Amino acid sequence: MAEETGSTVPRRQVGRLMRQLREQAGISLMAAANELEFSRARMYRIENGEVAVRKHDVIAMCTIYGAPDSITEVLIGLAAESKAKGWWHAYGDVVPGWFELYVGMESAASRLRHYANSVIPGLLQTKEYAESVFRTRPEFDEDAVQTAVTVRLERQSLLKRRSPKAPRFEVIIEEGALRRSMADIEGLQRQLALLVNMSQKPGVSVRVLPASAGHHRAMASGAFTILEFPTIGTTSPEPTTIYSENLTGALYLDKPGEVEIYNDVWQSLEQVALDRRGSDDLIATIIKEFDV
């Protein structure tokens, strides 16, 4: 169905804001549906972010709910975005459906915190490093590898974005991930040097969790990303979400209790990770060791 296309993140933002406005106005879902001449099912789908909403529907709903003009304008803009396909759709099957959702959320985030236990994060990978990672996938021929690398490099433009402002990107990487060798040693050294260069940029933090830190709470979690989203007024229409990827799909967690656990784990990692200078020094040492 045509209305199912487009970005899921703005759709969910519109839905959450619409539900908040309706509840603040003290209007039941059924009463709103009757006034708008919508079916109950359509109201549920709008508020759950399952369908795109047309501009005149946004205006009608905001009028009934007594929304301020400023919020109405925001919702009109979000509704327009919800109908647009993201740039990643151009790459077809190389971007699986479960990852399309993440790329959309990543693009909408205002802050990203990533714990990397075995592989350098995709947003910080060089072309050579990404090629080495994707060539481990038996289902990828060389054409698929190159397409996947192109998608990964395209994602990195997020950190250079000016409007809207690029998200804050904070990374904690296990020392073991930095010492993982690859066939192109010079390429690996360039990858490690890029981490040091990126850590100097505003809005980017790259810290290393040294092997000497020993056992820690994230050992049971595997790699994960905490995504936070901008607020509109005093509310954030998209909840903080935990993303964790595996071989066949991904896990998205946004219940307050789940988010609290991962926030606690992140804070514990910050306590044992090296600071920026110590991290840069350790990365520089590892680069020199690969010269041997």
How many Cα atoms sit within 13 Å of 79 on the Cβ side? 20
In a domain, 186, yes or no: yes
CA distances from 66 to 24, 181, 227, 245, 251 (A): 9, 60, 31, 41, 37
Our measurement of the distance from residue 94's CA atom to the centroid of its chain's CA atoms, rounded to an integer in Å, reads 18
Domain span at residue 17? Answer: 2-82
In the structure encoding, which two tokens stand for residue 2, read together?
């045509």
In a domain, 278, yes or no: yes
Please check whether residues 102 and 73 belong to one and the same domain: no
Please check whether residues 74 and 93 belong to one and the same domain: no
- Report the amino acid identity of residue 146: Q
In a domain, 150, yes or no: no
In a domain, 201, yes or no: yes
**pLDDT at residue 13, as a whole number:** 77
Cβ atoms of 71 and 47 closer than 8 Å? no
Please check whether residues 176 and 107 belong to one and the same domain: yes
**pLDDT at residue 31, as a whole number:** 94
Please check whether residues 29 and 98 belong to one and the same domain: no
- Report the amino acid identity of residue 223: A
Give me the residues paired with residue 245 across strands.
250
CA distances from 178 to 33, 135, 226, 247, 291 (A): 55, 18, 21, 21, 14
pTM for the whole structure: 0.76
Contacts of 116 (CB under 8 A, 6+ apart): 171, 172, 173, 174, 177, 223
In the structure encoding, which two tokens stand for residue 15, read together?
């839905």
The count of structural domains within the chain is: 2
In a domain, 127, yes or no: no
Please check whether residues 48 and 181 belong to one and the same domain: no
Please check whether residues 37 and 162 belong to one and the same domain: no
Please check whether residues 114 and 32 belong to one and the same domain: no
Please check whether residues 72 and 163 belong to one and the same domain: no
CATH code, domain with 17: 1.10.260.40
Please check whether residues 76 and 93 belong to one and the same domain: no
In a domain, 133, yes or no: no
Distance between first and last Cα of the chain = 59
Please check whether residues 228 and 255 belong to one and the same domain: yes
Domain boundary among 31, 66, 82: 82
pLDDT tens across the length of the chain (292 residues)? 333 444 566 788 788 888 889 998 999 999 999 999 999 999 998 988 888 888 899 999 999 999 888 788 878 877 776 666 555 555 555 666 567 678 878 888 889 999 999 999 999 999 999 999 999 999 899 998 999 899 899 899 999 988 778 999 999 999 999 999 999 999 999 999 999 999 999 999 999 999 999 999 899 889 999 999 877 666 666 788 899 888 777 888 888 899 999 999 999 999 999 999 999 999 999 999 998 6
pLDDT tens string 46-63: 988 888 888 899 999 999
Please check whether residues 167 and 105 belong to one and the same domain: yes
Domain boundary among 82, 104, 139: 82
Please check whether residues 221 and 284 belong to one and the same domain: yes
In a domain, 130, yes or no: no
Domain boundary among 30, 52, 82: 82
In a domain, 75, yes or no: yes
| Dist. CA 107–CA 238, nearest whole Å | 12
Task: Kindly report the length of the chain.
Answer: 292
CATH code, domain with 97: 3.30.870
